[in-house]
Structure 1
Amino acid sequence: MLRCARNDDVAQMDKITTLAQYMPASAAPIIAKWIDYFQCEFKISKNRSTKLGDYRHPFKDKGHKISINNDLNPYAFLVTTVHEFAHLLTWNDHKNKAKPHGIEWKQNFKRMMKPFFDLAVFPPEIQQTILNYLDNPAASSCTDLSLARALKSYDLRKHTTRIEELPSNAVFTLKDGRKFKKGERMRKRYRCLCLDNGNIYLFNPLAEVLLETGS
């Protein structure tokens, strides 16, 4: 977990070194500055199948909190980090009066992406996809499938199965061993029945799963 540590050069260098293990090295000093400037608790989390990152606004005596999955490729990790910091900035500016991925958030996301565009951190195809997304008012969030696919093309993992590739009613498992049956698509996510507890879960079409033998 990375916390703000102003006026401590050693701690700041340690923070940059840690961040550079998960994102392009040239981006790490900027993110480290944001963590300090916004007094943010920044956590690198284990994989969560339902989300890539998370932002929690201050509550009572707790400050800003951001968590990012640790198994993302460097470009996906950085985009997700900027995504969550844009939520932080939007909350600072508007509190709960702005929609989660409304125009205020999009403006902040675009502003916070600019330093990384200036540094040419992203491959051209990812940068162009981000720009296309930001210019498309119909896109509701950074989970836009075109952007997600562009980012996933840099994953090191190969030969995985995505939920969108499975036939209807196929049975699949997650890494934690839970078993599901694929259901219908509801707008941008698939309704899937957990065969272990009978609950319904919504999955991103690009979620990577293990197909059950004989399904």
Structure 2
Amino acid sequence: MDKVKILEKYMPATAAPVISRWIDYFKCEFKISRSRSTKFGDYRAPFQGRAHRISVNHNLNPYAFLVTTVHEFAHLYTWNQHQHKIKPHGAEWKQNFKKMMQPFFEQQVFPADIRQAITQYLNNPAASSCSDLNLYRALRNYDIPKPDVLTVEKLPAQALFRFKDERIFKKGEQLRKRFKCVEVATRRIYLFSPVAEVRLVG
């Protein structure tokens, strides 16, 4: 099947030809990956004769898939310029991410809230990576609703919840950006991201 047609299944259709051209231009191995709970996408630099490699989770909504794809291509472009001499999400990467977002801003691919969140993220030097919570929340607005799933920040204080492997936790106080939660069975303390997806108990 034509590469553009495949990409159109995962991202806004108007963006697919641009990403297809990038894959060819940078001679990149681009893989649509299984779902990974720890990351949306991944970039691997050339190694032992292998080309640049990018993978993006298949189950992201179209806007999250595109933002993640651009994020990873910005890593590729920055590696071509600097190799491993700079921070992964430093000023050079941010500048390239901003530059590579421009075609999609010009095409008005993104809804206003996502565009605003991307712009705010790129203008905020304190944000070190694409784990920026404001951008993450904007992208999640376009996920298919999951009626039984909440984020930790939306749970009431002291609520019991299940996370991934079915262990049960109790929500505690917020410490800076994360919530201090207690695993009920072991009384061990864990720190949860405000946007971690969980299921309420009871």
User: Into which bin does the TM-score normalised by the smaller protein fall?
Assistant: 0.7 to 0.9
Give the whole-Å Cα distance in 2 for the aligned partners of 1:40 and 1:184. 44
Contact 1:16 1:29 (8 Å CA) reproduced = yes
Q: 1:153 to 1:90 in 2, by over 3 A?
A: same
1:148 to 105, 117, 136: 136
Distance 1:195 1:109, change over 3 A: farther
> Match of 2:91?
103
Q: For 1:188 and 1:54, how far apart are their aligned partners in 2? A: 24
Q: How does 1:131-146 map to 2 (within 5 A)?
A: 131-146=119-134
Structure 1 segments unaligned to the other structure (5+ residues): 1-10
Q: Give the 3 Å change call, closer, same or farther, for CA 180–28 of structure 1 in structure 2.
A: farther
Deviations 1:153-173 (A, max 9, x none): 111224321133344684413
Q: 1:140, 1:35 → 2: CA distance? A: 26
For residue 81 of structure 1, the aligned residue among 69, 72, 92 is 69
Q: Please report how far the alpha carbon of residue 191 of structure 1 lies from its aligned counterpart in structure 2 after TM superposition.
A: 7.2
- Listed as ranges, the matches of 1:27-42 within 5 Å are 27-42=15-30
Taking the aligned partners of 1:92 and 1:65, their CA distance within structure 2 comes to 13
TM-score (norm 2): 0.85
Q: Distance in 1 between matches of 2:21 and 2:190?
A: 37
Root-mean-square deviation (CA, aligned residues, Å) is 2.7
Contact 1:55-1:66 at 8 Å conserved across structures: yes
Q: Contact 1:15–1:32 at 8 Å: present in 2 too?
A: yes
User: Is 2:199 aligned against 1:210?
Assistant: yes
Change (3 A) 1:123 1:171: closer
Taking only the aligned residue pairs, the percentage that are identical comes to 59
> What are the ranges of 5 or more consecutive residues in structure 2 without an aligned counterpart?
none
Residue aligning to 1:165: 154
User: For residues 122-141 of structure 1, what are the alpha-carbon distances to aligned partners after superposition, in whole Å with 9 as ceiling and x for unaligned?
Assistant: 11221122111111111111
1:42-101 residue CA offsets vs partner (Å, 9 max, x unmatched)? 111122111111111111122211111111111111001101111111111111111111
TM-score of the pair, normalised by structure 1: 0.80
Amino acid across the alignment from 2:162 = F
- How has the CA–CA distance of structure 1 residues 47 and 203 changed in structure 2, closer, same or farther, with 3 Å as cutoff? farther
1:5 corresponds to: none
Q: What is the rounded CA distance, in whole Å, between the counterparts of 1:200 and 1:63 in structure 2?
A: 42
Amino acid at match of 1:123: P
Shift of 1:211: 2.9
